[in-house]
């Protein structure tokens, strides 16, 4: 059975082990879904990347140390899909809160027949072999291969006729890499709502081919019925966070949005590390947060505090006791952590404490290119790379490869 790294050390080990396969082998084999559950053709780094136990710059930088740009390009482009979805949602954050509201309303309004179909789907009892296999795999492991996610979302929406929003809730609640942007927007993409009129339709033949004939899918919808939905909301400007003040002492607040802050803010004057339990959505988050807290405390030589909640008065008191007027955390994009911090910010400000967010260069440089289609970002990857991975001073050979690839 596959394993999914949830500590930084495990993620770095996984990356090292996967590197030889990140070039042409990945390009050729990444979509072959191993129905035995051993996902050896893909990196299985998503749970670590999602929480930034390891940075995109680290992953891409290492890939380019081993592979020429054109060989590693397919894998690198996949890493940028995560960036794209985050940047796209960040410019339409209302889609996240709309989805939360729609889930509640749809849940309450399901008729009996739809409720039975939904229950059967989640339990892996639809009678569609491939769907049932993947529903059970998701339940047992918290992971599905990307291609399996596409089939599952398509069958849910077009064959079972269930609302995509409730499918997105199902996977968001179970995926070990659950991510507001990648999950919600991928479901919208499959349903035909991201690129107007373009839906993803699962096919029995392709499922048999990609699973080496192990999985079958009888009775799939032959055409997609794209759900009615309003047009995309207009793009809003990217949020400009208050940046940390390197001259001031700080409390560091660790959230599941950035679990390796010590690697990007090594010289910050940190007096204590705070890891609020209420921000963990489950065991995977707790494991990552514990690992992050331990590393942060060791790096900055300070204590860890683990309050149950984000009560502003408690945080302000803790900051004051340590002589700090700023609390520094990783940038929290649209999602539950972003919502929690948006509420915390004014409450702390009222007590004279600034909540500063460190925005990684990766996001700052890429997100402005994420407002339209993915290819708008993809076309810039090559030119952005030197600056993106230059943050970590890649070796000369890697830089040379990036500067002069055949496109
Ligand atoms: C319906 C649906 C729901 C999804 N929900 C999530 C989710 O909640 N969280 C999540 O992290 N990913 C989600 N994805 C994207 C993708 O399936 C996973 O990131 C990928 O399968 C993770 O496995 P891996 O690390 O082995 O990927 P690899 O193939 O090894 O790719 C390397 C890295 O690139 C990124 N990546 C690859 N494919 C995608 C993609 N299509 N979109 C965004 N990033 C990608 C991931 O960070 C991944 O770790 C979803 C995709 C679909 C179709």
- Substitution site in 26, 42, 177 for ligand 1 pocket (most atoms within 8 Å of beta carbon): 177
Residue 78 pLDDT > 50: yes
| Stretch 93-120: mean pLDDT | 96
Q: What is the pLDDT of residues 165-182, one digit of tens each?
A: 999 999 999 999 999 999
- Identify the CA nearest to 83 among candidates 401, 367, 326: 367
Mean pLDDT of all residues in 339-346:
97
Contact call for residues 307 and 234 (beta carbons, < 8 A): no
| Atom 21 of ligand 1, nearest CA residue | 146
Site to substitute for ligand 1 among 186, 189, 202, 257, most atoms within 8 A of C-beta = 186
CA of 146 to the centre of ligand 1 (A): 6
**pLDDT digits over 350-392, tens only?**
999 999 999 999 999 999 999 999 999 999 999 999 999 984 4
> Ligand 1 pocket, 179 CB below 6 A?
yes
User: What pLDDT does residue 401 have?
Assistant: 39
Ligand 1 atom closest to the Cα of residue 153 is 1
For residue 175, the ligand 1 atom closest to its alpha carbon is 8
How far is C-alpha 374 from the geometric centre of its chain's CA atoms?
Answer: 16
With tokens 């889930």, the residue in question is: 103
pLDDT tens digits, residue range 42-60?
Answer: 999 999 999 999 999 999 9
Q: Is 150 in the pocket of ligand 1 (CB under 6 A)?
A: yes
Among protein residues, the one with the nearest Cα to ligand 1's atom 48 is 46
- Topology of domain 111-210, per CATH? DNA Cyclobutane Dipyrimidine Photolyase, subunit A; domain 3 (1.10.579)
> Which atom of ligand 1 lies nearest, measured to the CA of 26?
29
Number of helices (H) and strands (E) in the chain: give both, helices first: 19, 5
Model confidence, pTM: 0.95
Residue nearest to atom 17 of ligand 1 (CA): 146
Task: Tell me if 149 CB under 6 Å of ligand 1.
Answer: yes
How many whole angstroms separate alpha carbon 347 and alpha carbon 357?
16
Q: Within 13 A of 159's CA, how many CA atoms are on the CB side? A: 23
Q: What residue ranges do the domains of the chain occupy?
A: 8-90+364-403, 111-210, 250-358
Q: Is 406 helix (H, G, I), strand (E, B) or coil?
A: coil
Report whether 125 contacts 162 (CB < 8 A): no
Q: Do domains 111-210 and 250-358 have the same CATH topology?
A: no
For residue 46, report the distance from its CA to the centre of ligand 1, in Å.
6
**Distance between Cα 327 and ligand 1 center (Å):** 31
Q: Is the CB–ligand 1 distance for residue 314 below 6 Å? A: no
Q: Cβ(79) to ligand 1 under 6 A?
A: yes
Fold topology of 250-358: Rossmann fold (3.40.50)
Report the 3 state secondary structure along 222-265. CCCCCCCCCCCCCCCCCCCCCCCCCCCCEEEECECCECCHHHHC
The Å distance, Cα 298 to ligand 1 centre, comes to: 31
Starting at the earlier edge strand, list the strands of the sheet with 303-305. Answer: 303-305, 270-274, 250-253, 326-330, 354-358
- What is the per-residue pLDDT across 252-295, written as a single tens digit (0 to 9) for each? 999 999 999 999 999 999 999 999 989 999 999 999 999 999 99
pLDDT digit string (tens) for 286-334?
999 999 999 999 999 999 999 988 999 999 999 999 999 999 999 999 9
Of 344, 291, 337, the residue nearest 319 (C-alpha): 344
């Amino acid at each position: 059975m596959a394993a999914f790294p949830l500590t930084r050390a495990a993620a770095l080990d996984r990356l090292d082990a996967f590197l030889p396969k990140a070039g042409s082998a990945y390009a050729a084999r990444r979509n072959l879904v191993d129905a035995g559950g051993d996902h050896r053709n893909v990196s299985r780094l998503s749970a670590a990347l999602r929480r930034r136990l390891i940075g995109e710059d680290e992953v891409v930088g290492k890939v380019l140390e081993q592979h020429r740009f054109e060989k590693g390009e397919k894998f690198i482009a996949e890493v940028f899909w995560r960036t794209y979805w985050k940047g796209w949602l960040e410019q339409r954050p209302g889609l996240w809160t709309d989805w939360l509201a729609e889930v509640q309303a749809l849940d309450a309004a399901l008729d009996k027949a739809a409720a039975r179909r939904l229950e059967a789907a989640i339990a892996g009892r639809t009678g569609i072999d491939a769907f049932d296999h993947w529903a059970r795999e998701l339940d047992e492991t918290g992971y599905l291969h990307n291609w399996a996610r596409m089939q599952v979302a398509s069958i849910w929406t077009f064959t079972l006729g269930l609302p995509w929003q409730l499918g997105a809730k199902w996977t968001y609640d179970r995926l070990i890499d659950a991510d507001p942007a990648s999950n919600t927007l991928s479901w919208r993409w499959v349903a035909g709502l991201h690129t107007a009129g373009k839906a993803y339709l699962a096919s029995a033949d392709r499922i048999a081919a990609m699973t080496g004939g192990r999985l079958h899918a009888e009775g799939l919808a032959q055409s997609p019925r794209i759900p009615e939905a309003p047009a995309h909301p207009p793009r809003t400007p990217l949020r400009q966070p208050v940046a940390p003040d390197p001259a001031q002492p700080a409390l560091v607040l660790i959230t599941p949005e950035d679990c390796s802050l010590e690697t990007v803010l090594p010289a910050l004057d940190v007096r204590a590390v705070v890891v609020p339990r209420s921000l963990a959505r489950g065991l995977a988050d707790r494991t990552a947060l514990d690992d992050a807290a331990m590393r942060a405390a060791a790096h900055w030589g300070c204590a860890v505090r683990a309050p149950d909640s984000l009560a502003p008065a408690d945080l302000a008191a803790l900051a004051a006791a340590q002589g700090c007027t700023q609390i520094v955390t990783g940038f929290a994009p649209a999602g539950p952590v972003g919502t929690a911090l948006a509420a915390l910010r004014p409450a702390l400000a009222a007590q004279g404490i600034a909540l500063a967010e460190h925005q990684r260069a990766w996001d700052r440089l890429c997100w402005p290119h994420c407002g339209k289609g993915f290819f708008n970002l993809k076309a810039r990857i090559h030119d952005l790379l030197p600056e993106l991975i230059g943050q970590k001073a890649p070796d000369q050979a890697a830089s040379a490869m990036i500067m002069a690839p055949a496109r």
